[in-house]
DNA sequence: GCCAACGTTGGC
DNA sequence: GCCAACGTTGGC
């Protein structure tokens, strides 16, 4: 899913990379279905926590290798994030309703895995955190952006983004292939990755992780690559 | 570069 | 509202 891409954050300077984003547009229907999914995934934990202290975990995809979209390079790797001022960037370019609704559900300080997609070695590269909650993605109004959406109006923006800040690299890169091996094994044994969205919602560029999924993936850092 | 998965579009 | 055509995602 997506994919996403981003740019620098903050306030004033957009950069030029576009995140991955994707495209899309639709509307109501997309919104409705996205909502449903979101609620099934997130409200469960919300209701448990009664709205307090609830913490969610996320996985966000970005392409670490150069690729031109409308003549603009959408590359944005974790190294690129690390190189930004304050190691912070806005995650622009998400153009899928379901992914957008997850962006809108993100809360300050929640943690997200930075996933490298569409590249030589796909997988989880590091950790970042949400430092600004959802606000309008300006690239939807920029004609030259690969993620321009002529159907979106300034007074009612369709697409959102959040700001993320680099936290750390994974102690070792966790390849997609390794996660997939666990996912498959866990489907049989009922282990923590049995329903991981990376495999069950293939094209979703912004996705939630359960506490169990998040903890299990962190535990892999300490293990030898399998 | 191929192509499966899957979201979106648009005719009807 | 169905569904075939189409476009994109993203692994391999």
Percent of the residues in chain A that have a pLDDT greater than 90, as a whole number: 71
Burial A96-113 (b: 16+ CB within 10 A, else e): bbbbbbbbbbbeeebbbb
Radius of gyration of chain A (CA): 17
The most confident of A11-20, A66-75, A104-113, A141-150, by mean pLDDT: A104-113
Q: What is the mean pLDDT of residues A142-161?
A: 93
What CATH number belongs to A57-219? 3.10.590.10
Q: How far apart are CA A185 and CA A190, in angstroms?
A: 8
Torsion of Cα atoms, A122 then A145 then A158 then A84, to 10°: 60
How far does the CA of A81 sit from the C1' of C4, in Å? 42
Domains of chain A, residue spans: 57-219
Q: Indicate if CB(A203) is under 7 A from strand C.
A: yes
Tell me the CA–C1' distance in angstroms for A149 and C5.
22
In DSSP terms, which residues pair with A129 in a beta bridge? Answer: A111, A165
pLDDT tens for each residue of A79-102: 999 999 999 999 999 999 999 999
Name the pLDDT band for A167 (thresholds 50, 70, 90): very high
For the whole model, what pTM was predicted? 0.85
Which residues in window 75-114 of A are less than 7 A from strand C by Cβ?
A: 95
Element (H, E) at A36: helix A28-38
What is the C-alpha separation between A122 and A64, in angstroms, rounded?
9
Residue range A95-122: mean pLDDT, rounded: 97
Would you say the C-beta of A203 is within 7 Å of strand B? yes
A202 Cβ nearer than 7 Å to chain B strand:
yes
Judge residue A128's burial from the number of C-beta atoms within 10 Å of its C-beta, 0-12 exposed, 13-18 middle, 19 or more buried: buried
Question: Is the distance between the Cβ of A24 and the closest atom of strand B smaller than 7 Å?
Answer: yes
Q: Rounded mean pLDDT of A144-162?
A: 93
A12-37 tens-digit pLDDT: 333 333 344 333 333 333 444 434 34
Answer whether any strand B atom is within 7 A of the Cβ of A29. Answer: yes
Does strand B come within 7 Å of the CB of A201? yes
Contact between residue A147 and residue A92 where contact means Cβ atoms under 8 Å apart: yes
């Amino acid at each position: 899913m997506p994919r996403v891409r981003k740019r620098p954050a903050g306030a004033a300077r957009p950069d030029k990379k576009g995140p991955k984003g994707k495209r899309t547009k639709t509307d109501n229907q997309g919104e409705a279905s996205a909502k449903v999914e979101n609620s099934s995934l997130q409200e469960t934990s919300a209701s448990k926590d009664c709205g307090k202290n609830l913490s969610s975990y996320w996985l966000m995809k970005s392409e670490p290798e150069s690729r031109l979209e409308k003549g603009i390079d959408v590359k944005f790797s974790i190294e690129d994030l690390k190189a930004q001022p304050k190691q912070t960037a806005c995650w622009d370019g998400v153009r899928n309703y379901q992914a957008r609704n997850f962006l809108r559900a993100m809360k300050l300080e929640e943690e997200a895995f930075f996933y490298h997609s569409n590249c030589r070695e796909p997988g989880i590269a590091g950790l970042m955190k949400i430092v600004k909650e959802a606000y309008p993605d300006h690239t939807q109004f920029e004609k030259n952006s690969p993620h321009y959406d002529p159907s979106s109006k300034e007074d009612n923006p369709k697409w959102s983004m959040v700001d993320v800040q680099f936290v750390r690299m994974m102690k070792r890169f966790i390849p997609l292939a390794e996660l997939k091996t666990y996912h498959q094994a866990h489907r049989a044994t009922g282990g923590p990755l049995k329903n991981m969205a990376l495999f069950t919602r293939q094209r979703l560029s912004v996705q939630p992780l359960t506490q169990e999924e998040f903890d299990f993936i962190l535990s892999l850092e300490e293990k030898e690559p399998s």
